[in-house]
Structure 1
Amino acid sequence: MDATYDDDIIRPTAAWGAVLSMALCVAMLIASEFMPVSLLTPMAEGLHATEGQTGQAISISGLFAVAASMMITTLAGTLNRKWVMVAMTAFMLFSLMLVAAAPNFAVLMIGRALLGICIGGFWALATAVIMRLVPAQDVPRALALMYGGQAIAAAFAAPIGSYLGGILGWRAVFWALTPVVAINLVWHVVALPSLPARQKQDFRTMFALLKRPYFRRGLAACMLSWGSAFTMFTYLRPFLEKVTGVDVTTLSVLLLLLGCSGFIGTWAASRFLKGNLAPFLKLPALVMGGATVGLLLLGFSVVAAALFMAIWGAMNTMFSVIWMTWMSQNADDAPEAAGSLMVAAIQASILLGAVVGGLLLDSFSIQATFIGSIVLAVLAFVLIGNGQRMLKPKAA
């Protein structure tokens, strides 16, 4: 049942089961997309590539996610959004199987490209779908619940992946994800209500959004913030191994701490993100950039690294809810088009972060990669200011 208010039909029952199904899909997407972070070293060794090259497995998924996010609402046309989401989950399942069985680096990249299509398609529609599953006043809460899947993935995927990768090999980790994604696929079919396309989207709607100065500024700030985060996060394992000097067990514990801290961010998002969002927009760049500075200066200490990773992890989950809530409030007249642009911007930032971070790592040092992340965070903070210029002008 569509749980919002359509043009002339009142559907007051929120489809929370469908929201939970979306949350599981988020968890699996995050786990699938960023699992190479926790397995970067063994994957590089197994595929006879450098760590910087293997980091591009994240870049390639980002590249295809950008393309998919820009095209999905146009290509999907008038297709029922329920079945589009089901198809995206099926792509994720096939991608995991390809990656797990990859005999060489080329096949790995093909599998990651397919995952990118899933990422772009899912995220472009996700917020618009959530806006139809619950009443308008419950959208921030539903988004926080959906991004709870991100916290779960961050809490358990990376540390378990790192630990199991050390015991069973990195391929076994990707195979282990496939049955969960298969269950999620069935859950989508059962729980998601029929979601007929309300109107056919095209690129003109996106261009119209980009003509709005507040939306352009918000999109640029969002890109800088995400670029900063993933320039650092993609290469966190090499930093912890080379600078902090951790072994696989300690690495797994630190990644578990980072992930579990995400539950604090999810709770804070559902508790505090109400009313005026302007003061919250600069928090991700400020807090996560500050944590990266702390790691750069004090990361030789395991205790200090644990502290700053916990701070980073808590803000990481709140990060997504802040910006997607901003989108739902400031582009509520074109949520699918806005979702496409947001996802394209975010994935482009992740892609560039992984590419630039990899180049800095291979050409200079891991410290150079972290410095690049800090520079992007500073630029985001300066652009956002007090956040008011990112908000839709109030009607007179």
Structure 2
Amino acid sequence: MTDATFPDLRDGSAVTPGAAWGAVLSMSLCVAMLIASEFMPVSLLTPMAEGLGASEGQTGQAISVSGFFAVAASLMVTTLAGRLNRKWVLVAMTALMLLSLVMVAAAPNFLVLMGARALLGICVGGFWALAAAVMMRLVPAEDLPRALALMYGGQAIAAAFAAPLGSYLGEIIGWRGVFWALVPIVAANLVWHIVALPSLPARGRQDLGAMLGLLRRPHFRRGLIAATFSWGSAFTMFTYLRPFLEQVTGADVTVLSALLLVLGCAGFLGTWASGRMVGANVAPLLALPALVMGGGTLALVLVGGSLAATALILAAWGAMNTAMSVIWMAWMSRNVDDAPEAGGSLMVAAIQSSILLGAVIGGLLLDAISVEATFLGSAALAAVAVAIAGNGRRLTRPA
């Protein structure tokens, strides 16, 4: 990835002399576990629904509820924890993830599952709101792009392998066994945080006024809305991908795991390509993710019965899914560089809102009509995102 991939989120505070790479790797593992924990229900949706006596649409709300609490946490955590040492805030967030996994694995009913996912949402939103600022204090300025690449590498690995492994292992040890398998890894990560993270005293509160100021800027507000619809479209499709592949493509567990692996591995290509594709002018690329992914989702409705066609479409979809993060992060870094931390918090909130939007809309359409209707809803959200983004000029800061 190039340096342009990452926003300059510095707040003027001094960084740690020398690079604390052990702490960076601990953060990367935490990212991987967060992504795996948050989206594991996607690959286990059908057996989880059966095990808890709920519909697939209801169980899909396990993702939406984590998104709801992640939105709140992303906007509030730096204010509420303003005077607390950031090391112990991150340790607490990881402990919440551990508790959430235990609750999900042992959940006797749907209500306990929702409570566990709410705890995970707090962890997700709080961690991502603090992650970039903490990373800036772990390494010198010249090492920041490399450190961020390692952190996002944890995300890419989880996105590539969590879903297919979850689907495959779920057939062998059951969906509860999959979540129990994550518990010792997160417990080890918690201990690693305590050992590797240096003391990180608070250096000021998050300014809510800065976030409100950004929302008053028309170009940023339009971009945030377009990003929300882009991710909303993606999660409407992705959350309910397993029911589609089972019902329309006719995939058994082995084929399902292979297709999810194709989708995930294509994400590495998308990350690599987008780091080179994003140049000085990112505006023309803003509509591209929704256009490609929305078109691919619509194509699945038309030709999803063909295994070969489905695999090709999922590969393109997976590549653009990771490229979307790079494209929109580059947009943010170049259009709100005077208030980067506030912009970062709002972007996290927008993405998590889109998870909530996508899971809710998709679940309602699935239960009320069909999984094809869910995918058509995803394509419709993508069309809205493309319409708002346009050629990107109205989403960029006036010269």
Q: So what's the TM-score if we normalise by structure 2?
A: 0.91
Identify the residue that residue 375 of structure 1 maps to in structure 2. 380
Residue number in structure 2 paired with 1:233: 238
Separation in 2 of the partners of 1:8 and 1:118? Answer: 25
1:334 to 336, 339, 345: 339
Moved more, 14-23 or 154-163: 14-23
Task: Give the C-alpha shift of residue 135 in structure 1.
Answer: 5.8
Deviation of 1:67 (Å): 1.3
Asked if 1:63 is matched to 2:68, the reply is yes
2:267 aligns to what? 262
Match of 1:150 in 2: 155
Q: Are 2:295 and 1:290 aligned?
A: yes
In 1, Cα distance between the equivalents of 2:136 and 2:335? Answer: 13
Q: Which residue of 2 aligns with 1:325?
A: 330
1:169-205 deviations in Å (ceiling 9; x for gaps): 1000001111111222233334434443332124222
1:368 Cα deviation after fit: 0.8
Taking the TM superposition and a 5 Å limit, the aligned residue runs for 1:1-396 are 7=12, 13-134=18-139, 142-394=147-399
Asked whether the equivalents of residues 143 and 321 of structure 1 are also in contact (C-alpha less than 8 Å), the reply is: no
Paired residues of 1:19 and 1:142 also in contact (CA < 8 A) = yes
Query: What SS does the aligned partner of 2:251 have?
Result: coil
Shift of 1:129: 3.1
Task: Provide the C-alpha distance between the structure 2 equivalents of 1:18 and 1:273, rounded to a whole number of angstroms.
Answer: 29
Between 96-105 and 381-390, the greater mean CA deviation after superposition: 381-390
Shift of 1:20: 3.0
Shift of 1:132: 4.3
Cα distance in 1 between the residues matched to 2:198 and 2:209: 28
One-letter amino acid of the structure 1 residue matched with residue 354 of structure 2: S
Q: Number of residue pairs matched?
A: 392
The one-character-per-residue Cα deviations of 1:33-54 (angstroms, maximum 9, x if unpaired) are: 1111100100000001110111
SS in 2 for 1:153: helix
Structure 1 residues 316 and 12, CA, compared in 2 at 3 Å: closer, same or farther? farther
**TM-score normalized by structure 1?**
0.92
Q: For structure 1, which runs of at least 5 residues remain unmatched after alignment? A: none
* CA distance 1:181–1:8, shift in 2 (3 Å): closer
Aligned twin of 2:4: none
User: What is the DSSP-based 3-state SS (H/G/I as helix, E as strand, rest coil) of the residue aligned with 1:150?
Assistant: helix
Cα distance in 2, alignment partners of residues 6 and 30 from structure 1: 27
Q: Output the amino acid matched with 2:286.
A: L
Q: 1:368 to 1:139 in 2, by over 3 A?
A: farther
Question: Which structure 2 segments of 5+ residues have no match?
Answer: 1-7
Contact 2:66-2:118 at 8 Å conserved across structures: yes
Q: State percent identity of aligned pairs.
A: 73
Report if aligned partners of 2:86, 2:200 keep a CA contact under 8 Å in 1. Answer: yes
Q: Deviations over 1:7-43 (max 9, x none)?
A: 4857674544443332222211111011111001000
Q: Distance in 1 between matches of 2:276 and 2:18?
A: 22
Residues in 2 aligned to 1:367 and 1:78: alpha-carbon distance in whole angstroms:
49
- 1:323 is displaced (CA, Å) by 2.2
The one-letter code of the counterpart of 1:192 is L
3-state SS, counterpart of residue 55 of structure 1: helix
2:5 corresponds to which residue? Answer: none
The whole-number CA distance in structure 2 between the counterparts of 1:384 and 1:142 is 31
Deviation at 1:286?
Answer: 1.8
Q: 1:261, 1:378 → 2: CA distance?
A: 23
Distance 2:28 2:76 in 1: 23
Question: Are the equivalent residues in 2 in contact too, given 1:73–1:337 (CA < 8 A)?
Answer: no
- Are the equivalent residues in 1 in contact too, given 2:16–2:139 (CA < 8 A)? no
Change (3 A) 1:88 1:47: same
**1:329–1:146: structure 2 CA closer, same or farther, 3 Å change rule?**
farther
Cα distance, 1:68 vs. partner? 1.1
Q: Distance in 1 between matches of 2:142 and 2:62?
A: 39
Q: CA deviation at 1:292?
A: 0.9
Secondary structure (helix, strand or coil) at the match of 2:202 reads coil
Query: What residue identity is the alignment partner of 1:207?
Result: L
Q: Are the counterparts in 2 of residues 230 and 350 from structure 1 also a CA contact under 8 Å?
A: yes
The structural deviation recorded for 1:4 is 9.5
Q: Does the C-alpha gap of structure 1 residues 390 and 146 become closer, same or farther in structure 2, counting only changes over 3 Å?
A: farther
AA paired with 1:268? A
Q: Is the 8 A contact 2:28 2:152 kept in 1?
A: yes
**CA distance in structure 2 between the partners assigned to 1:222 and 1:313 by the alignment:** 17
Distance 1:30 1:83, change over 3 A: same
Query: SS of 1:99's equivalent?
Result: helix
**Contact 2:9–2:340, Cα closer than 8 Å, also in 1:** no
Distance 1:335 1:81 in 2: 19
Distance 2:332 2:265 in 1: 26
